[in-house]
Amino acid sequence: MRGRTDRGVVFDFDLTLVDLKLDHDAMVEHLRKATSALGISHLATSWSSAFGAYRELVDEVLLEDPGRDRIKRRLDQAMAAGEYLAYPIAEAYPGAKEVLEYLRARDFRIGLVSSNSLRIIESTSRKFRLWRFFDAVWGRESYGRLKPAPDKIRGCCTQLGIEGCFYVGDDPSDMDAAIRASCRGIAVIRLTDRLPTPSPAVLRERGAERLVWSVKELPDLFEELFPG
């Protein structure tokens, strides 16, 4: 590991660098079947989001349960199966590859912390020729609780040897996690009809230091943030 540096950036994945175009109803159905088979469906209080139900079960209700790791592996598989349905239609956002090339050319350390599965992150990143840019990747299966908990961002920054990390994401929970991990948040305004778009005001309230409307704007922003 090289010495510690402040020249590092960690990214969210879906709706930040790549639009996975997830079918959230299908995700919920996959997770419901898995929890039903495990006999734990009743432990989740809300099924409006597969990610929310998963987080409630794994990171809250079952956090101290001795069977948590076994249950988590089964739920991870179910979530990944739901995510992978979107693989054929996923798209990289314009500018995603260019911002990673920009950072790599300037010797930044680049991390990725996502609530998506490592399987879909790697396969989709390879599809769009993004995988080679990441020095560390932390997905849903990686150690620690999901965002807004800071665990995975902290772990990724430690692996990268980063101090003063910037975390780039699209959701208020991304900004929550960044603040809790003592990082600085950069929010990319997401444009999709599948999820509500958080307002700039909300993202700022949750800790976003800077806002951009597209990842294409990030190289200019990093020129400002890291002069020279």
Q: Which of 2-6, 25-29, 89-93, 201-205 has the lowest mean pLDDT?
A: 2-6
Work out the average pLDDT over 2-28.
90
CATH number, domain containing residue 16? 3.40.50.1000
- Residue 91: predicted pLDDT: 97
- Residue 26: predicted pLDDT: 96
- Domain span at residue 206 reads 8-20+90-225
CA pair distance 91, 93, nearest whole angstrom: 6
SS3 assignment, position 113: strand
Let me know whether 131 and 70 are in one domain: no
With bands split at pLDDT 50, 70 and 90, how would you rate the model's confidence at 62? very high
Let me know whether 72 and 100 are in one domain: no
CA pair distance 183, 150, nearest whole angstrom: 10
CB neighbours of 194 closer than 8 A, spacing ≥ 6?
21, 22, 24
Place of tokens 């400002």: 224
Selected residue with higher pLDDT from 2 and 154: 154
Q: Do the domain assignments include residue 3?
A: no
- Residue 4: predicted pLDDT: 61
The alpha carbon of 132 is separated from its chain's Cα centroid by a whole number of angstroms, namely 18
Q: What is the pLDDT of residues 130-165, one digit of tens each?
A: 999 999 999 999 999 999 999 999 999 999 999 878
CB neighbours of 133 closer than 8 A, spacing ≥ 6?
100, 101, 103, 104, 110
Let me know whether 30 and 106 are in one domain: no
Q: Do the domain assignments include residue 216?
A: yes
CA pair distance 62, 50, nearest whole angstrom: 16
SS3 assignment, position 180: helix
With bands split at pLDDT 50, 70 and 90, how would you rate the model's confidence at 2? low
Q: What is the model's pTM?
A: 0.95
What is the chain's mean pLDDT, rounded? 95
Per DSSP (E only), the strands in 64-204 are 91-92, 109-113, 136-138, 166-169, 184-188
Let me know whether 31 and 45 are in one domain: yes
Among residues 34, 69, 85, the one where a domain terminates is 85
Let me know whether 34 and 107 are in one domain: no
Q: Do the domain assignments include residue 1?
A: no
Domains in the chain: how many in total?
2
What is the phi/psi pair of residue 127, to 5°? -55, -40
CA pair distance 198, 210, nearest whole angstrom: 14
Let me know whether 99 and 135 are in one domain: yes
Let me know whether 141 and 113 are in one domain: yes
Let me know whether 104 and 127 are in one domain: yes
Work out the average pLDDT over 88-115.
97
